[in-house]
């Protein structure tokens, strides 16, 4: 199994190193051969090669069976041209690899419920899967740009969704709901946007093939409120690229720390199934290189890779159990620390999880 490893910027290299070590431990215990190929991406690539996604990096990602990514971006590159920004690498990878479905599970571990800014009784037991459409909508729609006009300039972006784009993401949602609690909430802004009206119409049509799954619809503003008011009403949320970007950050905070949440971006291109796995948090430049970052989101992303790209369910479960038992023993990185628990760094957290896997 060939894995392209793209550590990226900020805390990326530290957390990815821990996830790679965990995968190696899984390989050792279960006799699998993982071949890692490490490449630069994001600001690190811009510094070294002048572009955030060098051809060599893209090729490695295309040749691999799965991609493990750390994080990209940082203040150093915030003022450069859009085309050269670290974020561009992420968007190009999504586009080039055809990663149209982004899965962001937000699960609140009971032992961490007090780390949330919301009340324990509201978040304890939350288990939501946000499915975000990832290669369409306003992120990619044309026309876009900044143009001169009579008043000075105008900035333009376009929200576009086609029937096939909506059909395939709706199918992902209904299929995954079948392995969960059989409830899909489709989120749109159909009271204002035509693209959303089509979204809703198509989701309703696709739903006819999944009569065993319950479907509800929410406008995005209401959904943002309901997520805070009563998050346990949600099972699977399916939504557009931009709404999913926003709602998945909100869902993440229900669980206490964004440092815990993995993600998978899946799809297909060149006749091959694709998967890219990354923590949903960013590059956290303020704590980079200080052994403070929580590697769990990346380690759990590696578990999602094993399950979704390689069908290694048991191995994925072993990683999840290892994470849980280390947390149960009271070990915490700074972001999830609370009084009475033991504060440890990135490396130590990685090592403890790895030990559980090997024993």
* 24 near ligand IPM (CB under 6 A): no
123 binds, among ligand IPM, Mg ion, none (CB under 5 to 8 A by kind): none
d(CA 196, CA 183): 20
97 dihedral zone (left: phi>0; alpha: psi -120 to 50; beta): alpha
CB 175 within 8 A of CB 168: no
H or E element at residue 36: strand 35-38
115 binds, among ligand IPM, Mg ion, none (CB under 5 to 8 A by kind): none
Chosen residue from 24, 38, 47, 87 binding ligand IPM by CB under 6 A: 87
Catalytic residue among 189, 210, 277, 356: 189
d(CA 68, CA 70): 7
Beta carbon nearer to Mg ion, 53 or 261: 261
b/e per residue 319-353 (b: at least 16 CB within 10 A): bbebbeebbeeebbbbbbbeeebeebbbebbbebb
Beta carbon nearer to ligand IPM, 74 or 350: 74
Residue 289 φ then ψ, to 5°: 75, 10
Packed helices 12-30 and 313-328: angle between N→C axes, nearest 10 degrees: 120
Helix (H, G, I), strand (E, B) or coil at 30: helix
Picking from 117, 159, 72, 78, the residue whose alpha carbon sits closest to that of residue 255 is 117
The distance of closest approach from Cβ of residue 22 to ligand IPM in the complex, given in angstroms and rounded to an integer, is: 22
Catalytic residue among 249, 321, 337, 343: 249
Q: Indicate if 39 belongs to the active site.
A: no
The distance of closest approach from Cβ of residue 246 to ligand IPM in the complex, given in angstroms and rounded to an integer, is: 9
Residue 122's CB: how many other CB atoms inside 10 A?
Answer: 17
The distance of closest approach from Cβ of residue 243 to Mg ion in the complex, given in angstroms and rounded to an integer, is: 11
Catalytic residue among 9, 235, 245, 335: 245
* 159 near ligand IPM (CB under 6 A): no
Task: Give how far Cα 148 sits from Cα of 141, 152, 154, Å.
Answer: 20, 6, 6
Q: Indicate if 47 belongs to the active site.
A: no
Q: Indicate if 245 belongs to the active site.
A: yes
Catalytic residue among 39, 107, 109, 139: 139
Beta carbon nearer to Mg ion, 245 or 278: 245
Q: Indicate if 221 belongs to the active site.
A: yes
Beta carbon nearer to Mg ion, 279 or 350: 279
* 245 near ligand IPM (CB under 6 A): yes
Listed ranges 55-63, 87-95, 190-198, 200-208: which one lies at the site for ligand IPM (CB under 6 A) = 87-95
The distance of closest approach from Cβ of residue 252 to ligand IPM in the complex, given in angstroms and rounded to an integer, is: 10
CB 27 within 8 A of CB 354: no
Beta carbon nearer to ligand IPM, 188 or 245: 245
* 90 near ligand IPM (CB under 6 A): yes
CB 331 within 8 A of CB 342: yes
Beta carbon nearer to ligand IPM, 210 or 294: 294
What ranges make up the beta strands (E) of 177-289? 183-188, 214-219, 236-239, 264-269, 272-277
The distance of closest approach from Cβ of residue 245 to ligand IPM in the complex, given in angstroms and rounded to an integer, is: 5
The distance of closest approach from Cβ of residue 258 to Mg ion in the complex, given in angstroms and rounded to an integer, is: 10
Interface residues with Mg ion (CB under 5 A) are 245
CB 160 within 8 A of CB 137: yes
Using CB under 6 A, list all residues that contact ligand IPM: 87, 90-91, 245
Catalytic residues: 139, 189, 221, 245, 249
């Amino acid at each position: 199994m060939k894995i392209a490893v793209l550590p990226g910027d900020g805390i990326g290299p530290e957390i990815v190193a821990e996830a790679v070590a965990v995968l190696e431990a899984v390989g050792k215990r279960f006799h699998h051969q993982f071949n890692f190929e490490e490449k630069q991406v994001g600001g690190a690539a811009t510094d070294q090669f002048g572009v955030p996604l060098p051809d060599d990096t893209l090729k490695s990602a295309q040749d691999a069976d799965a991609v493990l990514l750390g994080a990209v971006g940082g203040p150093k590159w915030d003022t450069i041209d859009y085309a050269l920004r670290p974020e561009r690498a992420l968007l190009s990878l999504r586009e080039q690899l055809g990663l149209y479905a982004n899965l962001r599970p937000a699960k609140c571990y009971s032992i961490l419920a007090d780390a949330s800014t919301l009340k324990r009784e509201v978040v304890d037991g939350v288990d939501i899967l946000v499915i975000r459409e990832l290669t369409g909508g306003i992120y990619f729609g044309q026309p876009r740009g900044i143009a001169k006009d009579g008043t000075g300039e105008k900035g333009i972006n376009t929200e576009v969704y086609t029937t096939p784009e909506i059909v395939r993401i709706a199918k992902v949602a209904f299929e995954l709901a079948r392995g969960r609690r059989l409830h899909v909430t489709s989120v749109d802004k159909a009271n204002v946007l035509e693209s959303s009206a089509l979204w809703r119409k198509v989701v309703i049509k696709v739903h006819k093939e999944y009569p065993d799954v319950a479907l509800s619809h929410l406008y995005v503003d209401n959904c943002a409120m309901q997520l805070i008011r009563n998050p346990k009403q949600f099972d699977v949320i399916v939504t557009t690229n931009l709404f999913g970007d926003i709602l998945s950050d909100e869902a993440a905070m229900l669980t206490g720390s964004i440092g815990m949440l993995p993600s998978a971006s899946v799809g297909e291109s060149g006749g091959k199934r694709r998967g890219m796995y990354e923590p949903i948090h960013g590059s956290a430049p303020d704590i980079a290189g200080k052994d403070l970052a929580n590697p769990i989101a990346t380690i759990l992303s590696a578990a999602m890779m094993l399950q979704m790209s390689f069908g290694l369910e048991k191995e994925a479960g072993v990683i999840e159990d290892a994470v849980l038992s280390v947390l149960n023993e009271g070990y915490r990185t700074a972001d999830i620390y609370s009084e009475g628990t033991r504060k440890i760094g990135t490396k130590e957290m990685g090592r403890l999880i790895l030990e559980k896997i090997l024993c």
